[in-house]
Chains A and B, each alone.
Chain A
Amino acid sequence: MSTKLIDANNLKKSFGNFVAVDNIDLAVNRGEVVGFLGPNGAGKSTTMKMLTGFLEPDSGKILINNIDLKLYPLQAKQLIGYLPEGAPSYSDMEVSEFLSFVGKMRGIDDRNTLNNRLEDMANQINLKDVWNRPIETLSKGFKRRVGIAQALIHDPDILILDEPTDGLDPNQKYEMRNLIKTISKNKAIVISTHILEEVEAVCSRAVIIANGKLLANEKPENLGKNLNQKSVMSILVSNKINSTFSKEIKANFKNNKIEVQTIDNSYCKILIEGDEKSLELNKILTQLKKQKLNVVEAFFVRPSLDEIFRVITQNK
Chain B
Amino acid sequence: MNTYLNKTYIIFDRELKGYFRTPLASIFLLVFLSLSSGMTFFLGRFFERDQADLTAFFSWHPWLFLILMPAIGMRLWAEERRSGTIELLITLPVTNTQLVIGKFMASWIFTLIALILSTPIWITVNYLGDPDNNVIFVSYIGSWLMAGAFLALTSCLSTLTKNQVIAFIISSISGFILIMAGFSLILSAVRSWAPVWITETIGSMSFLSHFSRIQMGVFDLSSLIFFLSMIILCLWINIQLVQIKKAD
**Which A residues have a C-beta under 8 Å from some C-beta of B?**
49, 52-55, 73-75, 77-78, 80, 82, 84-86, 88-93, 101-102, 104-107, 109, 150
**Which B residues have a C-beta under 8 Å from some C-beta of A?**
3, 6-7, 10-11, 14, 18, 21-22, 83-85, 87-88, 90-95, 246-247
Contact A54 B247 (CB under 8 A): yes
Given contacts A74-B95, A90-B14, A107-B93, contact A49 B87 (CB under 8 A): yes
Across-interface contacts of B88 in A (CB, < 8 A):
82, 84, 88-89, 102, 150
In chain B, what residue has the closest Cβ to A90? B85
Across-interface contacts of B85 in A (CB, < 8 A):
88-90
Contact A49 B247 (CB under 8 A): yes
Q: With A54-B90, A77-B92, A88-B85 given, can you name 9 additional A-B contacts, CB distance below 8 Å?
A: A49-B87, A54-B87, A54-B91, A54-B246, A74-B93, A75-B93, A88-B83, A90-B85, A102-B92
In chain B, what residue has the closest Cβ to A83? B88
Q: Is the interface of A mostly helix, strand, loop or mixed?
A: loop
In chain A, what residue has the closest Cβ to B95? A74
17 A-B interface contacts by CB (under 8 A):
A49-B87, A54-B91, A73-B93, A74-B93, A77-B91, A80-B91, A82-B91, A88-B84, A88-B85, A88-B88, A90-B18, A92-B18, A92-B21, A92-B22, A101-B14, A105-B7, A107-B3
In chain B, what residue has the closest Cβ to A86? B84
Contact A105 B93 (CB under 8 A): yes
Contact B95 A101 (CB under 8 A): no
Contact B87 A105 (CB under 8 A): no
A89 vs B80: C-alpha distance when bound (angstroms): 10
Across-interface contacts of B247 in A (CB, < 8 A):
49, 54-55
A92 vs B95: C-alpha distance when bound (angstroms): 24
A264 vs B247: C-alpha distance when bound (angstroms): 60
Contact A78 B93 (CB under 8 A): yes
Across-interface contacts of B21 in A (CB, < 8 A):
92-93
In chain A, what residue has the closest Cβ to B7? A105
A109 vs B3: C-alpha distance when bound (angstroms): 9
Chain B min CB distance to A84 (Å):
4
Chain A min CB distance to B190 (Å):
34
In chain B, what residue has the closest Cβ to A134? B21
4 tightest A-B CB contacts, nearest first: A88-B84, A77-B93, A84-B87, A78-B93
Contact B92 A105 (CB under 8 A): yes
Contact B91 A52 (CB under 8 A): yes
A307 vs B84: C-alpha distance when bound (angstroms): 34
Contact B91 A105 (CB under 8 A): no
Across-interface contacts of B90 in A (CB, < 8 A):
53-54
A49 vs B90: C-alpha distance when bound (angstroms): 10
In chain A, what residue has the closest Cβ to B22? A92
In chain A, what residue has the closest Cβ to B24? A92
Contact A53 B91 (CB under 8 A): yes
A49 vs B88: C-alpha distance when bound (angstroms): 11
A126 vs B84: C-alpha distance when bound (angstroms): 24
Chain B min CB distance to A72 (Å):
10
Across-interface contacts of A78 in B (CB, < 8 A):
93
Chain A min CB distance to B188 (Å):
40
Across-interface contacts of A104 in B (CB, < 8 A):
7, 10
Across-interface contacts of B91 in A (CB, < 8 A):
52-54, 77, 80, 82, 84
In chain A, what residue has the closest Cβ to B6? A109
Looking at A54, A91, A105, the one whose CB has the most chain B CB atoms below 10 A away is A105
In chain A, what residue has the closest Cβ to B13? A101
